[in-house]
Amino acid sequence: SLQGYESFMMKEIRESWGAVRDTLTGLLKENELLNKTIKAIERAKRVIIVAAGTSYNAGLLFTIRLQRAGFNAISVIASEHNNLRTNQDDTVLVISQSGETMDSLIALKKYKNNGSFIISLTNTLGNSISSYSDIALHTRAGPEIGVAATKTFTSQVGALMLLSSLLLNESVDYLKEAESVIANSFSKVIGYTKIIGSELSKKPSLYYLGKGLGVPLAMEGALKIKEIAYVHAEAYPAGESKHGPIALVENGFPVIFLNNGEFTDELYNNVMEMESRHAKTYVISAGSKISTNNNQNEIVLDVPDPRLSPLALAPPIQLIAYYAAKERGANPDRPRNLAKTVTVR
């Protein structure tokens, strides 16, 4: 039930930090399963990450972290599984909140038939995807009623940060602060995102830009606002935006920058580029600020460890979409044309 909340989406965003905490403690208790997972990824010649929609965006963070560490990791959009032929030397990670997404299940079966080792990360027990997997890992976000994935996304990100740190032989102590980082981000951005959401609800189109780990978050921000507020949005790597997309930018065109704290100088240049075209820029920074002046459109989230930045950026992108939907009178829980679980090809 709604338990006093105005929508499931808001309730579930508010549940996201508890969901991440439960996901991390749950996974850390499954020592044997985690060790098997690490071994299966370490011995693989290639690591293939397969998912659709929001789960794909979460997976991309994992792919980037592994690629940076020298792993041969690739993200594949589930419905585009035909573009890749796997073999017995590959380990495939299928990420699906529901565990029932037809595109992801078909990709899984095909790659399994090729002899690849299959790991899944799902949010429910006894789903089809986990039943076909060699190792079934789970997030512990609890049931998600809103059609838009929110707490399940944040939980996937938490789980994948844990896995990537284990693979990179990093201490996972920093993840103890995941819960408070997400909760603090939520409190800090709630007013700001209401204003942004309401401004964006009146615009026909916008860009979400980021760099590095900010790119999958930008993709997720653009997906969310399209999905529930019906505002057209595109995500690009910030540097790539000058190779074409910038042509659309004119007076007042909204551009949201997601700064995960890694590439502040480059992002600063991209913000300036957009501002010189009179774009309306918004900057959401995790950790370090982009602007040197007191840019009133930059909000800076506290992150005690830079690896927590993707988690800190989850509440603002979800809340922006939520408030844009509200402002337009759209029901964020039940976007048109969409089902919670896409069981068709």
Binding site for ligand F6R (CB under 6 A): 52-55, 96-98, 101, 104, 148-149, 223, 227, 341-342
Give the residue from 129, 187, 172, 227 showing the smallest Cα distance to 25.
172
Q: Which is nearer to ligand F6R, 258 or 271 (CB)?
A: 258
Q: Residue with structure tokens 């800090």?
A: 188
Alpha carbon 311 to chain centroid distance?
Answer: 9
Is the separation of the CB atoms in 280 and 294 below 8 Å?
Answer: no
Structure tokens at 221: 């921000």
Q: Is 170 in a helix, a strand, or coil?
A: coil
Residue of this chain nearest to ligand F6R (CB atom): 53
Structure tokens at 32: 């044997």
Minimum CB–partner distance for residue 32 and ligand F6R (Å) = 25
Please count the residues of the chain. Answer: 345
Minimum CB–partner distance for residue 104 and ligand F6R (Å) = 5
Minimum CB–partner distance for residue 26 and ligand F6R (Å) = 18
Is the separation of the CB atoms in 303 and 181 below 8 Å?
Answer: yes
Q: Which is nearer to ligand F6R, 53 or 214 (CB)?
A: 53
Q: Which is nearer to ligand F6R, 105 or 271 (CB)?
A: 105
Minimum CB–partner distance for residue 95 and ligand F6R (Å) = 7
Q: Which is nearer to ligand F6R, 148 or 313 (CB)?
A: 148
In terms of phi and psi (left: phi > 0; alpha: psi -120 to 50; beta: otherwise), the region of 116 is: beta
Residue 75, number of CB atoms within 10 A of its CB = 22
Q: What torsion, rounded to 10 degrees, do the Cα atoms 260, 261, 265, 271 define?
A: 40
Q: Which is nearer to ligand F6R, 227 or 273 (CB)?
A: 227
Q: Is 71 in a helix, a strand, or coil?
A: coil
Q: Which is nearer to ligand F6R, 105 or 312 (CB)?
A: 105
Strand partners, 48: 74, 92
Distance set, CA 238 to CA 99, 212, 215, 273, 315 (Å): 33, 9, 8, 10, 21
Give the residue from 258, 231, 260, 236 showing the smallest Cα distance to 247.
236
> Rounded to whole angstroms, how far apart are CA atoms 315 and 221?
10
Minimum CB–partner distance for residue 38 and ligand F6R (Å) = 23
Minimum CB–partner distance for residue 260 and ligand F6R (Å) = 21
Q: Which is nearer to ligand F6R, 97 or 309 (CB)?
A: 97
Q: Which is nearer to ligand F6R, 38 or 330 (CB)?
A: 330
Q: Which is nearer to ligand F6R, 62 or 263 (CB)?
A: 62
Minimum CB–partner distance for residue 31 and ligand F6R (Å) = 26
Minimum CB–partner distance for residue 313 and ligand F6R (Å) = 16
Is the separation of the CB atoms in 250 and 274 below 8 Å?
Answer: no
Minimum CB–partner distance for residue 262 and ligand F6R (Å) = 26
**DSSP code per residue over 117-155:** EEEEEESSSS-HHHHT-SEEEE-------SSS-SHHHHH
